[in-house]
Amino acid sequence: MSKRAFITGITGQDGAYLARFLLDKGYEVFGLLARRSSSTSWRLEYLNVLSHIKLIDGDLTDLAAIIRALRIAKPTEIYNLGAQSFVGSSWDQPILTGQATGIGVTNVLEAIRLTDSSARFYQASTSEMFGLIQETTQSEKTPFYPRSPYGVAKLYGHWMTVNYRESFNMHASSGILFNHESPLRGIEFVTRKVTDGVARIKLGRQKSLMLGNIDAQRDWGFAGDYVEAMWLMLQQDQPDDYVIATGVTTTVRDMCRIAFERVGLDYENYVKIDPRYYRPAEVEVLLGNPAKAKSRLAWSAKTSLKELIEMMVDADLARVSAQ
């Protein structure tokens, strides 16, 4: 009998890669579909998995809908990837962010408890919970200090996962994922904004690229590598929390340099600073320590930042050329 997986946020970047990964493992894959736009499934189509999964209407803010979805899917593994996930928007929509990104986690956990508490649960936590960093490299033991409504909401969901694990003996794990990107990243995220901008500049569609704090440092990896770590957490005998990262940090400036070099251009001639893109409270540096994931899950990032950014630039060149 094949394993059955249920994914919230299945139409997002991570959801699409995870769906493909699980299908390749022989899983029957179900996804929660919040019908808020007409173009929600393009990532699933891009990876050629849309016709192989089953979508169930529902929303993270609706406990009854989640219970209904779980009764239909009858999953052995549940991956909660759904959220209002753009940090910048969380200052403009703090209540929505709190409901979807924070309370939504509790809704899924409670739905599992009420339907089948033996199902294994994965929560998508985030390095944004570290925020104003308390240690040079961030591990599972580093104190949290979120600097955005998004980070605060994610921290609530993270601790609720721990609480349900300890209160109800549920197999509930959290992956504290550092920044992970791909050609499927939303255009509002800085890596994709840069690679799309590079493609448009190279093809003569725009003249410059407007960015905010290009000296911010991030630990960037490939989303396709990171979904394997999610799956590995749910294959362990004991649930736990893991930092998933590359262990290398890079400035936005250097990421721009890599992207522009891919098309033979110098970023300094095209990148312009616009104060409008500065955040009310900036997270200056994030650098993950993935030692626990390496030792216990036998997981490590496979794709370098250079390979990742070049992959994204190439994909955006093809997309922009086709428009």
Q: Rounded mean pLDDT of 295-316? A: 98
Q: How many Å apart are CA 4 and CA 92, to the nearest integer?
A: 37
For residues 125 and 137, state if they share a domain. yes
Kindly state the tokens that stand for 259: 């992207």
CATH number for 148: 3.40.50.720
Contacts of 172 (CB under 8 A, 6+ apart): 109, 120, 121, 122, 123, 161, 162, 164, 165, 239
Range of the domain at 86: 4-180+220-244
Q: What is the pLDDT averaged over residues 255-272? A: 97
Q: Which residues are catalytic?
A: 126, 128, 150
Average pLDDT across the chain, whole number: 94
Contacts of residues 230-234 at CB distance under 8 Å and 24 or more positions apart, as own/partner, are: 230/14, 230/18, 230/79, 230/122, 230/124, 230/175, 231/18, 231/21, 231/22, 231/25, 232/297, 232/298, 232/299, 233/122, 233/173, 233/175, 233/297, 234/77, 234/120, 234/121, 234/122, 234/171, 234/173
Quote the pLDDT of residue 13. Answer: 96
What mean pLDDT do residues 305-320 have? Answer: 98
Strand 120-126 and strand 77-80: the pairing is parallel
Q: What is the pLDDT of residue 280?
A: 75
Domain holding 259: CATH number?
Answer: 3.90.25.10
If asked whether residues 56 and 200 sit together in one domain, one would say no
Could you tell me if residue 47 is inside a domain?
Answer: yes
Domain membership of residue 113 (yes or no) is: yes
Which tens digits make up the pLDDT trace of 6-28? 999 999 999 999 999 999 999 99
Contact between 123 and 107 (Cβ < 8 Å): no
- 119, HSE (Cβ side, Cα atoms, 13 Å): 27
Q: How confident is the model at residue 323 (pLDDT cuts 50, 70, 90)?
A: confident
Q: How confident is the model at residue 262 (pLDDT cuts 50, 70, 90)?
A: very high
- Pair 195, 282 in one domain: yes
Domains of the chain: total: 2
Q: What percentage of the chain exceeds 70 in pLDDT? A: 96
Give the helix/strand (H/E) hosting 221: strand 221-222
292 falls within a domain: no
- What Å distances lie between residue 138 and 126, 190, 208, CA to CA? 11, 22, 35
Is 295 a member of any domain?
Answer: no
In angstroms and rounded to an integer, the radius of gyration of the C-alpha atoms of the chain is 19
Same domain, 51 and 149: yes
Residues 10 and 149 in one domain: yes
The pLDDT assigned to 39 comes to 52
- pLDDT score, position 1: 62
Same domain, 135 and 59: yes
Q: Is pLDDT of 251 > 60?
A: yes
Confidence of residue 278 (pLDDT cuts 50, 70, 90): confident
CB atoms within 10 A of CB 56: 18
Mean pLDDT of 52-56: 97
Whether residues 140 and 168 share a domain: the answer is yes
- Tokens in use for 322? 């086709």
59-79 tens-digit pLDDT:
999 999 999 999 999 999 999
Same domain, 59 and 89: yes
With cut-offs at 50, 70 and 90, classify the pLDDT of residue 282: low
The C-alpha atoms of residue 233 and residue 223 are separated, in whole angstroms, by 16
Amino acid 138 reads: Q
Q: CB-side exposure of 176: number of CA atoms within 13 Å?
A: 29
190-215 pLDDT tens trace: 999 999 999 999 999 999 999 999 99
Q: Rounded to whole angstroms, how far apart are CA atoms 59 and 32? A: 7
101 & 214 share domain: no
The whole-number pLDDT of residue 83 equals: 83
Q: Examine the pLDDT at 273 and tell me if it is beyond 80.
A: yes
86 — pLDDT class (breaks 50, 70, 90) = low
**Cβ–Cβ < 8 Å for 197, 209:** yes
Q: Please write the tens of the pLDDT for every residue from 128-141.
A: 999 998 999 999 99
